[in-house]
Amino acid sequence: MSYSRAISLLPMHLAAVMALLVVASSSYTTAASLSNDEAAALLRWKASLQNQSQSLLPSWDVGSNHSYCNWAGIACDNTSRITHIVLNSIGLTGTLFSFSFSSFPHLIRFELHNNSFHGSIPAQIGNLSRLYYIDFSSNHFIGKVPSELGSLRNLQCLRLNKNNLSGSIPQELGMLTLVWNLRLSENNLTGPIPTSVWNLTNLVRLKLHDNHLSGSIPTSIGNLTNLTNLYLSRNQLSGPIPHSLGNLNSLTELSLSSNKLSGPIPSELANLTHLQIFSIGNNKLTGHLPQNLCLDGSLIRLDAANNNLTGNIPKSLRNCNSLFRVRLENNQLEGNLQEYFGVLPSLDYMDLSYNRWFGKLSEKWGQSKNLTKLGISNNQLTGNIPPDLAAATKLHFLDLSSNHLVGEIPKKLRELGLLFHLNLSNNKLSGNIPAEIFGTQSSLKNLDLATNNLIGSIPREIANCENLQNLNLGKNQLEGGIPFEIEKLQFLQSLDLGHNNLMGEIPSQLGKMPRLEKLNLSHNMLSGSIPSSFGEQPTSLTSIDISYNNLKGLLPNTKIFEDVPYEVYRGNDGLCGNQTGLIPCSSPKVRNNADKSRTKTNLVLLVVVPLVGTLFLVVVGIFLLSKRVVLKVESEIQVVRNENLFEIWSYDGKIVYKNIIEATEDFNEKYYIGRGGYGTVYKAKFSSGLVVAVKKTHPSQDDNLVDLKSFRSEIRALTEARHRNIIKLYGFCSNSHRSFLIYEFLEGGSLENKLSNKEEALRFDWGKRLNAIKGVASGLCYMHHECSPSIIHRDISSKNILFDLECVAHISDFGTARLLNLHSSNGTSFAGTFGYAAPELAYTMEVNAKLDVYSFGILTLEVLLGKHPFDLISSLSSSCSSFFSSLSSAFHGMLLIDVLDNCLPPPEDQMVEEIVVTTKLAFACVNTDPHLRPSMRQVYVELSKQRPSSESSFHTITLGQLLVINCI
Ligand SMILES: *[C@@H]1O[C@H](CO)[C@@H](O)[C@H](O)[C@H]1NC(C)=O
Ligand SMILES: *[C@@H]1O[C@H](CO)[C@@H](O)[C@H](O)[C@H]1NC(C)=O
Ligand SMILES: *[C@@H]1O[C@H](CO)[C@@H](O)[C@H](O)[C@H]1NC(C)=O
């Protein structure tokens, strides 16, 4: 045996020896100079890279003992000709302009994946005719995809994904007949997909998603019968899905989501029986879902949400054991739901909302033991809520709202101990609210039972749900009093008990709930007076409605009831006060200082509208004027000192006070664009055409500016700050009448608007969201680390991030507006925005950059979740305490994909890794210990790193895995 082996090896040895002889004898000099030429070309290229990058290639050195064939990332053939240049993920920055393509005729593999190469891809790459593998993905290459790539007839794999390439895909790529892997995804490519691409019959993977490709998908796609992965999602492709797509029966992953595809789904797709991912959501498709989905039992993800699909869903889904996520919401699918879904053991997420399902709710859902989210709202379900639904003990989210469900709320729901969100509103549920369900639900955050026929009283046991944040029991027939135990709900933010038959007095504790922002008690039979706690400061309440009750006495003239419309207190015959529509109370103590704003408005009215100077107004006017005269001497001095104190105008057109008044017609309502915590914003257009936003700050009771010097330097720093992600402050003005700030006007609205408006949220895709986060981080990093003196924002919130039309995020509304009103020394009025303020603010007034870092963390989570992360944050902090171990394990086990904003399709490819990293960073930023939070510079650096595409299975990443030690 060994003998025959030796014989067969012999000729190879001979060949090698002969090759060496040829090299040595034929032309020693040519071979050496050729080789040196390759080494020299590499060194020239190295020398062109950014300095720091050069140090990353220490072995690339003529002085080194190694032959260049052994340099890092280089491999040669047996004649010492370079065949491989593989420099993935080593942090190189540079271009290919000094890369001498003609020096490497033997190159077969060229990989620069995940570096920071920029500039364009030179046309000479077409000379490397032996290349079979190119990977330039995850860099910053710009310019066009060179058409010369078409000459690389040996090319099998071309990965240019995740760059900034633009222009259209060259027709010439159609000549790459051997190519099986073509990835041009995540660039800015435009125009149609060239017809020649559809002739590349060796393609196995074609990923062109996340570009701006337009045009339609041609019939000839049916020729690509070897395709297993086809990703065309998030482009602007239009027209129908061709019938011939049904030929591609090797497909396992098909994603066409978020395009403008229309027309019916071709019935031929029934041939695609091996699909694991079928994603066509967010299009304008009609017709039926393909039959046979999951016929071979391998479908994992089905996304057809947000189309106009009709009819039933395939029966083959009924027992699809592999099914993990299903999104069919917002269609017109119909049928008796009971017939279509059996027990689905792997199912994690199912959203069937906004369709036309009817029939009863099957108790089988309870046997889908891995279910964490079930949404069937806005359908036509009838019958009872089956108690056995409670067997799905992993459920976090259950929304059965807006159906025709009847009967009582099953007591057994108490077994859903991980439930965060329970919405049964807008059904025909009757009976009492079972006190039992509040036994163990300490994780419940949102409970909505509104608009049913519930009777009886509000169970006191509701106080057991101590994490409750939103409670809506409105529009039922509940009676009795408001249980005073409700005060135990320390996290409650929104309480709606409107349209019931509640009686008795408003518990005084309601006015003191630390986080309550919205309170609606309208349309009940509440009596007594408004508890004095509603007048106390500080308060978190921003919206209150007590209309149509039997309340009497004084409507307190405090912040809560300041500037509220008549509608929120009308219909209480016994109320008095000096607000619109009320009769004045006879008590002389009615007026107080907080009413100064009103005083000023009235004064202006007096001056501007003399016609209305009725005797009554004159009397009132005289009364008010006399009030002003009585102002303390101290304040008078303050006012004089403030006159024209600050007028720093960096805008060269020199806007003056007068222009602002003219342009806004003295702050006329018609220029009103919004209201922030500390002021009202108007749009002002000057005759020059310049449009600005003017923020008029609410006049303060106390014009005492504590730290004029630092305030002034901050304003100056801000007017000088030039950063893409910081709104331009043109200047500001403060005098005895008014204070206002003049900002650049941005058309794109605030982050808060973007996330709360469904259509905008859909357009605000993962790429844009990550960019916005990076932008804010960049702006904050600049403010903290590059400005002198450094600027602390103090009030980062989604209200204060504004966008321009290019969707670039701008930080606005610095501490300035508030500083203008900063109440002297007691400091208690400074709290940032509720929900964004760092916890240490409860015990320290020290202002430092870590406050911004915390708010940034919250903001980041808000962008990823599509809503404020109250749930996460409270369970994050309680996960630190062993008393809440069940809650904590619930938190740790929660899947990232389930908390991400579900109005967007789940992120794919590189985006996955970025989202994972961003979430991790956000968790680090909200660490309760300010010292353990990263700095904004660390955050920004981390966010700016390029990430490789993650092949790990995104849908199994839990929040626990993303948690860098958060407890101390
Ligand atoms: C290399 O490519 C350039 C541009 O495509 C071309 O003009 C040139 O003739 C090529 N050189 C060789 C040696 O093939
Ligand atoms: C590709 O598909 C088109 C339309 O289905 C057909 O006419 C054409 O012959 C096919 N081309 C090849 C090379 O198979
Ligand atoms: C309070 O609820 C009623 C209906 O229940 C609604 O009409 C009203 O607008 C709500 N008030 C506020 C301030 O949202």
pLDDT in tens, 270-325: 999 999 999 999 999 999 999 889 988 899 999 999 999 999 988 888 889 999 99
Distance from the CA of 37 to the center of ligand 1, in angstroms?
Answer: 18
Q: Output the pLDDT for position 737.
A: 59
Distance from the CA of 545 to the center of ligand 3, in angstroms?
Answer: 7
704 to 634, 699, 738: CA distances (angstroms): 10, 12, 14
Distance from the CA of 200 to the center of ligand 1, in angstroms?
Answer: 25
Q: Output the pLDDT for position 217.
A: 96
Taking only the tens place, the pLDDT of each residue in 866-898 is 988 887 777 776 544 433 344 455 677 788 888
Whether 498 lines ligand 3, by a CB cut-off of 6 Å, is yes
Ligand 2 atom closest to Cα of residue 220: 2
Taking only the tens place, the pLDDT of each residue in 317-334 is 888 999 999 999 999 999
Closest CA to 494 of 474, 476, 524: 474
Q: What is this structure's pTM?
A: 0.61
Distance from the CA of 523 to the center of ligand 1, in angstroms?
Answer: 82
Would residue 407 be called left, alpha or beta, if left means φ above 0 and alpha means ψ between -120 and 50 degrees?
left
Whether 564 lines ligand 3, by a CB cut-off of 6 Å, is no
CB 224 within 8 A of CB 195: no
| Helix 910-925 and helix 766-781, axial crossing angle in degrees, nearest 10 | 40
Q: Output the pLDDT for position 247.
A: 95
Distance from the CA of 472 to the center of ligand 3, in angstroms?
Answer: 11
Distance from the CA of 698 to the center of ligand 3, in angstroms?
Answer: 26
Q: What angle do CA 258, 260, 263 make, to 5 degrees?
A: 120
Ligand 3 atom closest to Cα of residue 474: 5
Chain position carrying tokens 């469900």: 405
Distance from the CA of 489 to the center of ligand 3, in angstroms?
Answer: 21
pLDDT band at 815, cuts 50/70/90? Answer: low
pLDDT band at 968, cuts 50/70/90? Answer: very low
Whether 249 lines ligand 1, by a CB cut-off of 6 Å, is no
Taking only the tens place, the pLDDT of each residue in 32-89 is 444 578 899 999 999 999 999 999 998 898 776 678 888 999 999 988 899 999 999 9
Whether 102 lines ligand 1, by a CB cut-off of 6 Å, is yes
Q: Output the pLDDT for position 716.
A: 66
Give the closest residue (by CA) to ligand 3 atom 12.
Answer: 545
Chain position carrying tokens 């006190």: 435
Handedness of CA 572, 573, 574, 578 (dihedral sign): positive
Extract the tokens encoding 701: 């009771």
Whether 122 lines ligand 1, by a CB cut-off of 6 Å, is no
Whether 874 lines ligand 3, by a CB cut-off of 6 Å, is no
Whether 244 lines ligand 2, by a CB cut-off of 6 Å, is yes
The CB density around residue 151, as the number of other CB atoms within 10 Å, is 18
Extract the tokens encoding 650: 């960096």
Whether 958 lines ligand 2, by a CB cut-off of 6 Å, is no
Distance from the CA of 124 to the center of ligand 1, in angstroms?
Answer: 6
Q: Output the pLDDT for position 585.
A: 81
Whether 177 lines ligand 2, by a CB cut-off of 6 Å, is no
Whether 150 lines ligand 1, by a CB cut-off of 6 Å, is no
Q: Output the pLDDT for position 627.
A: 39
Give the closest residue (by CA) to ligand 1 atom 12.
Answer: 127
Q: Of 596 and 478, which is predicted with more confidence?
A: 478
Extract the tokens encoding 17: 């020896």
Ligand nearest to the CA of 174: 2
Cα(66)–Cα(695) distance, rounded to whole angstroms?
67
Give the closest residue (by CA) to ligand 1 atom 10.
Answer: 127
Average pLDDT for residues 163-170, to the nearest whole number? 96
Query: Phi first, then psi: what are they for 135, rounded to 5°?
Result: -135, 100
Cα(400)–Cα(413) distance, rounded to whole angstroms?
13
894 to 395, 498, 855, 903, 957: CA distances (angstroms): 11, 34, 23, 18, 8
Average pLDDT for residues 579-593, to the nearest whole number? 61
Give the closest residue (by CA) to ligand 1 atom 13.
Answer: 102
Closest CA to 409 of 373, 435, 391, 370: 435
Ligand nearest to the CA of 221: 2
Average pLDDT of the chain to the nearest whole number: 81
Ligand 1 atom closest to Cα of residue 101: 1
Closest CA to 744 of 679, 666, 655, 870: 655
User: DSSP assignment, residue 835?
Assistant: T
Query: Phi first, then psi: what are they for 742, rounded to 5°?
Result: -115, 120
Chain position carrying tokens 């109320």: 575
CA atoms within 13 A on the CB side of 34: 14
Q: Is 795 a catalytic residue?
A: yes
Instruction: Say whether pLDDT at 94 is over 90.
Output: yes
What SS3 string covers 650-694? CCCCCCCHHHHHHHCCCCCHHHEEEEECCEEEEEEECCCCCEEEE
Closest CA to 623 of 653, 591, 589, 645: 591
Whether 126 lines ligand 1, by a CB cut-off of 6 Å, is yes
Whether 425 lines ligand 3, by a CB cut-off of 6 Å, is no
pLDDT band at 381, cuts 50/70/90? Answer: very high
Pocket mutation for ligand 1, best pick of 127, 129, 148 (most atoms within 8 Å of C-beta): 127
Give the closest residue (by CA) to ligand 2 atom 3.
Answer: 220
CA atoms within 13 A on the CB side of 815: 25
Instruction: Say whether pLDDT at 905 is over 60.
Output: yes
pLDDT band at 602, cuts 50/70/90? Answer: very low
Q: Output the pLDDT for position 827.
A: 39
Distance from the CA of 127 to the center of ligand 1, in angstroms?
Answer: 6
Whether 123 lines ligand 1, by a CB cut-off of 6 Å, is yes
Ligand nearest to the CA of 245: 2
Q: Output the pLDDT for position 187.
A: 96
- Active site residue: 795, 813, 871, 898, which one? 795
Extract the tokens encoding 943: 């966010």
Please tell me whether residue 339 adopts helix, strand or coil conformation: helix
Ligand nearest to the CA of 128: 1
Extract the tokens encoding 913: 């890794």
Instruction: Say whether pLDDT at 166 is over 70.
Output: yes
| Helix 885-893 and helix 870-878, axial crossing angle in degrees, nearest 10 | 130
Cα(454)–Cα(433) distance, rounded to whole angstroms?
7
Chain position carrying tokens 């010439």: 172
Taking only the tens place, the pLDDT of each residue in 683-742 is 888 776 778 888 776 554 444 443 445 555 566 666 777 788 888 877 766 655 566 777
Consecutive H or E run containing 111: strand 109-111
Whether 366 lines ligand 3, by a CB cut-off of 6 Å, is no
pLDDT band at 111, cuts 50/70/90? Answer: very high
Q: Which of 183-187, 191-195, 650-654 has the lowest mean pLDDT?
A: 650-654
Cα(955)–Cα(592) distance, rounded to whole angstroms?
58
Q: Output the pLDDT for position 878.
A: 55
pLDDT band at 426, cuts 50/70/90? Answer: very high
Cα(492)–Cα(516) distance, rounded to whole angstroms?
5
Cβ neighbors of 847 (< 8 A, separation 6 or more) are: 792, 794
Q: Of 809 and 708, which is predicted with more confidence?
A: 809
Whether 545 lines ligand 3, by a CB cut-off of 6 Å, is yes
Ligand 2 atom closest to Cα of residue 199: 13
Distance from the CA of 456 to the center of ligand 3, in angstroms?
Answer: 22
Ligand 2 atom closest to Cα of residue 198: 1
Give the closest residue (by CA) to ligand 3 atom 4.
Answer: 498
Q: What angle do CA 248, 198, 261 make, to 5 degrees?
A: 70
